[in-house]
Structure 1
Amino acid sequence: MSLLDLTIRNVKRNFRLYSIYLLSMIIGVIIQYTFSSLMFNQDIIDALQNREMFQTGMAIASVVIFLFNIFFILYANSFFMRQRKKEFGMYLLYGLKERQIVRMVFYETLIMGAISLVIGILLGGLLSKLFGMLLMNLMQYDQVVSLSFPLGAMATAVGVILLIAVIVSVQSYFLVNRVQLTELFHANQKAEKPVRVSAAMAILAVFLIVMAFILICSGQGSAVWKDYGTYSMIGTAIGIIGGTYLFFRQFAGWLLRLISRRKKYHEGNTVLWTSSLRFQIRGNTLNLTFISLFSAVIMMLLCFVTINYKVQFDAVGMNVPNDIAYESLDPSTNEQVEGTIDSSKHKIQYHLKPQALVVSPVTDRGIAFDNPEYYIPGLWLVAEKDYNELITLRGDKEQVNLQGMEAVSLAQGSDYPKTYAAGETPSFTVKTDEEKTFTLKAKKDYAYLGWSTDPILAMDKKAAVFVISDEAYQQLASHTDKKTFEIYGLTDAKNADELSKQVHAIVAQTEGAYYSSFADVYSKQIESSSLMLFAAGFLALIATFALASVIYFKQLREATEERLQYSILRKLGAENSQFRSVIRKQLLFVFLPPIVLGLLYSWTIIKYFILDSVKDFPELPGIVWSIMGIYFLIYLVFYASSTNLYYRIINKNS
C-alpha cells in the first residue's frame, strides 16, 4: 500500500476528526479570498476617488488577515495533531520512518487544501460580491459590484494553503522525531495539576480590576488624568492586565475551592463540574486572559471606527460648510467659474458675494482660536448681516446679535467653545491704519468660510474669521483692505468632485487665492472612514471567530481526554441529563467570564474617553451597545455549539 493510499484510508476512517480540521481550512480560505478579491475588484476600484489609499489600506488589512488565518488554522492543527499522536506511534511501531509519516501528513494537508480551495473560492466569490456591495453602501456610492474571481486573490489563497502545508509538515516532523515512542502512546494521559490558590491573591485580583475601573471612570478631564496622566495610564494597564490574569489564575480557583467547602457540595452535580475546572485552571489561565484583553481591544477598535464613521458626515460639513467658496478674482474669471457651474449637473441654490475686512491681529490669536497655527495668517472681519444671511440659508441656528465693538470668533474645531459672562469678556486688538479693540462676546465652534481645500491634498488651513457688528464694520471699512468671496450652494454637493476640480483649476491660476469645496473633503473622508469601518469590522469578525475557536478547540481536547471518566460515571449510574447539566455549567464557567470582562473594559473606556466627548450624537451609545450585543451573541452560539459537541464526544463508544 502506498502512502497516498494510506492517506486516503485515514481520511475515510477518521472523517469526523478530519472534518473539523477541513472546516477550519475552508473557513480560512473563504476569509482570505473574500478580502483579497475586494482589493482586485475592478468595479470597486473604478468607483473610488482615492484608489491608491484604498489599495494600500486593503493590502495592509490583507496581511493582518493572512496572519490571523495562519494562527487560526495552525491552532486547529495543533488540536488535530494531538489527537493523532497515538496513531503516529502505531506507524512507527509498524516500521514506518519519520520522513514517510511527514510525507503522509503533507499529502493529507494538500488534499484537504485542494478541497478547501475549491469550496473556499466559490463561497468566497459570492461573499466578496456581498461585502463589495456593503462597502459601496457604506461609501454611499451606487456602483454595481459584479461577481468576479480575480487571479491575484486566487494566488493569495493558494499561497496560504501551500505555506500551511509546509508548516504543518515541519510541525509533524518535530512531533515524531523529537518525542519518544512511549510519550506518543501516553500523550493524552498527562493530567494537569490544580493551581495553588490563596484568598489574599484572589482579593488582590479584585482590587486591581476595581482600581482600573475607578481610574477609567474618573474621566480624561479629571485631575487624576490631567496632572498624573502617565501614572494613571500605567496604573490602569497594570489593573486590567494583572487583575485579569490573577482573576483567572487565583480568584476563579479560590471561588471553586470555596464552593467545594460548602456543606451541600456533594449534592447534585456540583462536584463533577467544579472538580474538572479546578484541574483546568492552569492550562486555561493564559488563554482566558488573552481572550478577555483581546476582546476588549476588538470592541474598542470596532466601536471607535463606527463612531468615527458616524461623526464624519457631520464633521465634514462643520469643517467645510460651503459647497464652493473662493476669493473673488477679476470679472472674467468669475464669469468662467459661474459658466462652469451652470454647465454642470449641479444646480445653483444660492450665490452670495460677501466681503471681509483684512486686518492684522495685535493680540495673540490664541485668545480667540485654539491651535492658531492651523489658521491662515492674519484675520478677516465679516459683517453681522452677511454672516446671518449665509447661516440662514444653511438652515443653522448659529446667528449672532452684536452691538458696538462686540465680536465673535469662529474657532471651528474648537476644543472649548465658550460664551463669556459679563465682566469676563476678553479684549482683542487689531490694526488697520490705527488700532481698534474688540470685546469678544463668544468663541464659537463654527465656520463661516471653512478650511481651504484642494481636490488632491484635501484640507490645508482654515480661515481666521471674526464676526463683528454692522456698526463696527462700517467704521473700519474705509480704513482697511477688503476681500470679496463667491459662495455657492449647490444640489448634490457631495458628488461634485469633478466640478470642484474644474473650478479649482480656474481659481488656482491666481496664486494664493482662497478656495474651499465640500466635495474635496467629503469623498476622501467618507472613503477613508468607510474603509476603516469595513476593515475593522472584517478583522473583528475574524478575531472573534479565532478567539472563540481557541476556547472551542481547547474544550474539544479536554472532552476527548475526559471521555474515559464519563464512561466510568455512566457505568456507575449517571444519566445523560446529568452529563448535559455538568457540561453546560463547566463550559459556561469557561466562556462567560472572559467575554463579560472584555465587554466591561471596552464599554467603560469607550464611555468615558470617547462617548463623553461626542455628546452631540445621542444615537452613538445605542450603536455601541448593539455592536457589543452582536459580539456577545456570537460567543453564545459558540458556547451552545461547544456544549453539544462536547456531549457527543464523551458519549462516543461509551
Structure 2
Amino acid sequence: MFFNLVYRNAQRSRKENLIYFFTLVTAVASFYIILSLEKQDVVLYLKEFESDAINRLLGLMPLLYVFALFLLFFLVLFANRYQLERRSKEFGVYLLLGMQQKRLFWLLMMEGVLTSLFALFMGIVTGGLLAEIISLTTSRLIGQGIIGHQISFSFQAVLYTAVGFLVIQIAALFILGNKLFKEELHSLLYGGVEAIQQMGNAGGNWLMLLSGSVSLGVAYWIVLIYFKLFHLMMLLLAVVLGIIGTILVIRGVARLLNAMALRTKKNETKGLYVFTIRQLQETIANRSTSVAIASILLMLAMLMLANGSSIILSSSEDLENDQQVYDFTVLGENDEVEAFLTSDVMVPYVENLNPLAMGYLKTIEDIEEGPVDWSKLRAQIVSALPEDVEDPGNTGSTSMSGDYPEALNLLGALDYRLDHPYTIPLSAYNRLLGAAGEEKAMMNEDEVSLYLNTRFMTTDQDGKLPVLESIIDKARFDEEPLIQINDKAYQLTPLLPMKGLVTDRSITITAALIIPDALFEELVDPVNQETYWNFTIPDVLVEKEGLMAPMKEASDLISTTSFQFESYLQNFGRQLFYVVAGSYTLLYLGFLFLVIGCTVLALQFLTQMSQTRKRYQTLTYLGAGREQMKASIRKQVSWYFLFPLIPACISGIVGIRAMQLFLVPYISNPGVFIPFVLAMVMVFLFILLVYAFAVYRTAVGEMDQLRWKPTGE
C-alpha cells in the first residue's frame, strides 16, 4: 500500500509538473555532457597530438563538475521547494489523517528518489544523444575531414552523473523536508500569511530607478572603454555596478507598477487590466532580487554563448587555412636532414621535398637605414589611403586588422621590417608553388617580388590586393622601380600566389622579398640563413590509407631522430585545442546559466500562481470568464519574462559590442561576426520562449482545476 502510494504520487508529480521534471532531466543531461567530454571525437584526436595539454584540460573537468554541481544544487533545491510548496496541503491532509511525520518524510524521500531515477534515465539518454550530436557536429565543422566519428558511451560519466545528481537531490529533499515539517498543521493546510508588500513612495521608487539606470550606464561605459585594454580593476567595478544597477532598475520599475495601477482610467479597466498589473507587480516586487539575479544569469548566458561561438569563429580561419601546403617541416643540420628524408625508410612518406631557405640581407655600413629603400612604394601606398585615415608613420603605430582599409594594412605590414626584410630565393618559392599546383614564376635579375601574408590583410572576394596590384602595374607600365636594395633599383613583379612557407603556423612572416637565386647568394650571408625542410605525404598514400595513418607513421619515424619538426596534424591539433578549451567551456556554462535563469523565473511565477489561485476563484464569482483570465495570465507571463529579459539584452548587447571591438582584429572575416552571434542570440531567445510557453500552459492548467460557476463563461 505504502509503495503503491509512493509510485502513484511520483507518477502524478511528473504529469502535473513537467517543468519540475524537465529541470531534473536537464540537470542530469548537463552532468553527463561535461563528464563525457573525454569521449568526444575531437578530444580523442587531441590526445594523440596534444596529450599534455588535453590532459591538463581534462584535469580541470573535476573543478567544472564541482562548480556545475554547486549551481545545479540550487536549481534542484529551488525546483523541489516549488514542488513541496505546491503539495503542502496534501502533506497537511496526510498528517491530519494520522500519518506520522517520520513516515511522511520517508514517503517524500522515496517519491523524490523514484522521480530522480526516472529523471536520471531520461537525462542520461538525452545527454548521451546531445553528446553524440555535439561530437559529430564539432568533428564535421572544425575537424576539416581529419577527425572521424565513432559512437561512444561513457560508463564512468554515467556513474559520476548518477552519484552527483542523487546526492544533490537527496540533500535538497532532506533540507526542504525538515523545513516543511517544522511548520504548523494549519499553515500546511491553508498556507502561510502573505508577506506585507513594501512598495515605498513614488519619489523613492523613481530615485531607485534613476540610480539603477545611472549605475548601468556607468558600467556600460567602463566596459566599452576598458574591455579592450583588459583593465582588471575597472572591469570588476563594472561588474559590481552592473549587478547593483540591474537590481535597482527591476525593483524600481516593479514598485512603480503600483502607481500605474492606481492612475488607471475607467475606460482602461476592461479585460482584468488592473488585476493583471497588480498580479504582475506583486510577483516581481516581492521577488525583485530573484528576478534581478535571473536577469544577470540570462545576461551571462547570452555573453557566454556569444563568446563561445566567437572563439569558434575567430579560430575557424586558422583551422581552414587554404594557404597551407606542406604536411611536415623539419629543422636540423642540412646534410643530416637531407640524408634522413631521402633514406629508404622515409622515401615512401616524402613528396615535394623543398629545402626552403630564408635569411636577412647583408647591410652596407654606409647605409644606416637598412639595405632596402622602399620610400617610393610607401609614398604610392600612402596616396591610396582614404582621406579620413592618417599615415601611421606620423603616429608611430603599426597595426593590422581585418576591418582596416587595404592601404593601411599594407603600411602596417611593410613598416614593420621591410627595410630589413626576410628574403626567399625564387627557386625555393617555385618548388612551393609546384607543390600547391600553381604555375612557377619567372624573374629577371633586376626584379623582385613582395611576399605578403594575406591572413592579416583586407582582400577582395578573390583574396587579392587590388590597391597594391594597381600600384605595381602602373609602375611596371611607367618602368619606374619602386624598391632599392643596397642603392640598386629593382622592379616589382606582379604578386605571386601567397602560400604558407612552413607547416608551423606559429612561425608567421607578415612580409618578405622573393629574389632571384643569384641575388640571394650574393646578398644573404649563410650565417643569417635558416633552412626549413618541407615535404608532403604522397597523394597515392593518402588515397590508399587516408591522411591520419601515414602522418602518424611519419611522425613516429622523425621522432626517433634529434631533429625539430612540426606536422600539420600537430599544428592543427594545437589550434583545435584552443577552440575546444575555450568554446566548450563557455558554451556549456552559457546553456547552464540560461537553463538556471529560465527555471528560476518559471518556478517563481508558478509558485506565486499557486499561492494566489484563490483570487482566480473569486474572479469567477465576480463574473470573469475563462478566456478573460487566460488572457490575463498570458499578459502576466509575457511581461514577467520581459522584465528581466530587457535589461539582460541591453547589457548583453553592450558586452557583445565590447567583444566585437576586441575580437575583430583577430578575425580575418569580421563581416560574419554579428550574423554568427545573432544566430546564438536567436537560439537563446527561442529557449526562453519555450520556457515562457510552458509556464503559460502550466498556469492555465492550474486555473482549469478551479471550481467554476456554471455561468462563469
TM-score of the pair, normalised by structure 1: 0.76
Does structure 1 residue 175 correspond to structure 2 residue 227? Answer: no
For 1:402-417, what aligned pairs fall within 5 Å after superposition? none
For 1:131-146, what aligned pairs fall within 5 Å after superposition? 131-140=134-143, 141=146, 143-146=148-151
Q: Using a 3 Å threshold, how does the CA distance of structure 1 residues 174 and 489 change in structure 2: closer, same or farther?
A: same
Contact 1:560 1:650 (8 Å CA) reproduced: no
Does structure 1 residue 590 correspond to structure 2 residue 589? Answer: no
Does structure 1 residue 32 correspond to structure 2 residue 37? Answer: no
Does structure 1 residue 212 correspond to structure 2 residue 219? Answer: yes
More displaced 10-residue stretch of structure 1: 298-307 or 610-619 = 610-619
For 1:475-490, what aligned pairs fall within 5 Å after superposition? 475-477=522-524, 480=527, 482-489=529-536
User: How many Å separate the matches in 1 of 2:433 and 2:508?
Assistant: 22
Contact 1:256 1:278 (8 Å CA) reproduced: yes
* Corresponding residue for residue 555 of structure 1: 605
* Corresponding residue for residue 7 of structure 1: 6
Q: 1:343 Cα shift?
A: 1.7
Deviations 1:183-207 (A, max 9, x none): 4344354245143252222222223
Paired amino acid for 1:357: G
Paired amino acid for 1:308: I
Contact 1:208 1:238 (8 Å CA) reproduced: no
User: How many Å separate the matches in 1 of 2:643 and 2:430?
Assistant: 58
Contact 2:14 2:21 (8 Å CA) reproduced: no
Does structure 1 residue 269 correspond to structure 2 residue 272? Answer: yes
TM-score of the pair, normalised by structure 2: 0.71
User: How many Å separate the matches in 2 of 1:297 and 1:410?
Assistant: 40
* Corresponding residue for residue 256 of structure 2: 254
User: How many Å separate the matches in 1 of 2:550 and 2:421?
Assistant: 30
Three-state SS of the structure 1 residue aligned to 2:359 is: strand
Q: Using a 3 Å threshold, how does the CA distance of structure 1 residues 20 and 204 change in structure 2: closer, same or farther?
A: closer
For 1:93-242, what aligned pairs fall within 5 Å after superposition? 93-140=96-143, 141=146, 143-146=148-151, 148=153, 150-196=154-200, 197=202, 198-217=205-224, 229=231, 232-233=234-235, 236-242=238-244
Contact 1:566 1:650 (8 Å CA) reproduced: yes
Q: 1:363 Cα shift?
A: 10
Q: Using a 3 Å threshold, how does the CA distance of structure 1 residues 627 and 40 change in structure 2: closer, same or farther?
A: closer
Three-state SS of the structure 2 residue aligned to 1:146 is: coil
User: How many Å separate the matches in 2 of 1:27 and 1:206?
Assistant: 35
* Corresponding residue for residue 619 of structure 1: 672
Contact 2:257 2:281 (8 Å CA) reproduced: no
Please, which runs of 5 or more residues in structure 2 have no aligned partner? 371-395, 401-419, 459-466, 469-485, 490-497, 708-713
Contact 2:354 2:428 (8 Å CA) reproduced: no
Does structure 1 residue 529 correspond to structure 2 residue 574? Answer: no
Deviations 1:226-249 (A, max 9, x none): 9xx567535533442222111101
For 1:495-574, what aligned pairs fall within 5 Å after superposition? 495=547, 499=551, 502=554, 506=558, 509-510=561-562, 515-530=565-580, 532-574=582-624
Q: 1:623 Cα shift?
A: 0.8
Q: Using a 3 Å threshold, how does the CA distance of structure 1 residues 473 and 297 change in structure 2: closer, same or farther?
A: same
Q: 1:618 Cα shift?
A: 1.9
* Corresponding residue for residue 281 of structure 1: 284
Contact 1:203 1:251 (8 Å CA) reproduced: no
Three-state SS of the structure 2 residue aligned to 1:526 is: helix
User: How many Å separate the matches in 2 of 1:403 and 1:237?
Assistant: 62
User: How many Å separate the matches in 1 of 2:10 and 2:632?
Assistant: 32
Three-state SS of the structure 2 residue aligned to 1:75 is: helix
Q: Using a 3 Å threshold, how does the CA distance of structure 1 residues 503 and 28 change in structure 2: closer, same or farther?
A: closer
Three-state SS of the structure 2 residue aligned to 1:353 is: strand
Q: Using a 3 Å threshold, how does the CA distance of structure 1 residues 358 and 257 change in structure 2: closer, same or farther?
A: same
Q: 1:27 Cα shift?
A: 3.9
User: How many Å separate the matches in 2 of 1:252 and 1:322?
Assistant: 63
Q: Using a 3 Å threshold, how does the CA distance of structure 1 residues 484 and 564 change in structure 2: closer, same or farther?
A: closer
Q: 316, 319, 322: which is aligned to 1:313? A: 316
Deviations 1:469-512 (A, max 9, x none): 6697455336855443323355679955863773585488456x
Q: 1:172 Cα shift?
A: 3.9
Contact 1:402 1:469 (8 Å CA) reproduced: no
Deviations 1:599-637 (A, max 9, x none): 332233223333533363322211100110111011112
User: How many Å separate the matches in 2 of 1:21 and 1:106?
Assistant: 16
More displaced 10-residue stretch of structure 1: 154-163 or 644-653 = 154-163
Paired amino acid for 1:271: V
* Corresponding residue for residue 243 of structure 1: 245
Q: 1:590 Cα shift?
A: 1.3
Deviations 1:108-153 (A, max 9, x none): 12222333334444454444444443343344255343364x4323
Paired amino acid for 1:159: V
Three-state SS of the structure 1 residue aligned to 2:533 is: strand
**Number of equivalences:** 610
Q: 1:79 Cα shift?
A: 0.4
For 1:307-456, what aligned pairs fall within 5 Å after superposition? 307-315=310-318, 317=321, 322-327=326-331, 329-331=333-335, 333-338=337-342, 342-344=347-349, 348=351, 350-357=352-359, 381-383=422-424, 385=426, 389=430, 449=501
Contact 1:410 1:448 (8 Å CA) reproduced: no
User: How many Å separate the matches in 2 of 1:608 and 1:127?
Assistant: 31
Q: Using a 3 Å threshold, how does the CA distance of structure 1 residues 354 and 58 change in structure 2: closer, same or farther?
A: same
More displaced 10-residue stretch of structure 1: 286-295 or 114-123 = 114-123
Three-state SS of the structure 2 residue aligned to 1:488 is: strand
Q: Using a 3 Å threshold, how does the CA distance of structure 1 residues 42 and 438 change in structure 2: closer, same or farther?
A: same
Does structure 1 residue 292 correspond to structure 2 residue 291? Answer: no
User: How many Å separate the matches in 1 of 2:182 and 2:192?
Assistant: 17
More displaced 10-residue stretch of structure 1: 544-553 or 320-329 = 320-329
User: How many Å separate the matches in 2 of 1:116 and 1:410?
Assistant: 58
Contact 1:405 1:438 (8 Å CA) reproduced: no
Q: Using a 3 Å threshold, how does the CA distance of structure 1 residues 582 and 387 change in structure 2: closer, same or farther?
A: farther
Greater relative CO (CA pairs within 8 A, separation 6+): 2
Q: 1:289 Cα shift?
A: 1.6
Three-state SS of the structure 1 residue aligned to 2:670 is: coil
Deviations 1:65-87 (A, max 9, x none): 44444333222101011123333
Q: Using a 3 Å threshold, how does the CA distance of structure 1 residues 204 and 81 change in structure 2: closer, same or farther?
A: same
User: How many Å separate the matches in 1 of 2:43 and 2:369?
Assistant: 51
Deviations 1:421-467 (A, max 9, x none): xxxxxxxxxxxxxxx9999xxxxxx99656869xxxxx6x7789854
Three-state SS of the structure 2 residue aligned to 1:485 is: strand
* Corresponding residue for residue 428 of structure 1: none
* Corresponding residue for residue 701 of structure 2: 648
User: How many Å separate the matches in 2 of 1:479 and 1:644?
Assistant: 79
User: How many Å separate the matches in 1 of 2:182 and 2:128?
Assistant: 42
More displaced 10-residue stretch of structure 1: 574-583 or 42-51 = 42-51
Contact 2:303 2:656 (8 Å CA) reproduced: yes
User: How many Å separate the matches in 2 of 1:270 and 1:545?
Assistant: 31
* Corresponding residue for residue 423 of structure 1: none
Contact 1:410 1:447 (8 Å CA) reproduced: no
Please, which runs of 5 or more residues in structure 1 have no aligned partner? 371-378, 421-435, 440-445, 454-458
Does structure 1 residue 603 correspond to structure 2 residue 656? Answer: no
Q: Using a 3 Å threshold, how does the CA distance of structure 1 residues 287 and 13 change in structure 2: closer, same or farther?
A: closer
Deviations 1:339-360 (A, max 9, x none): 666524xx84x44333333689
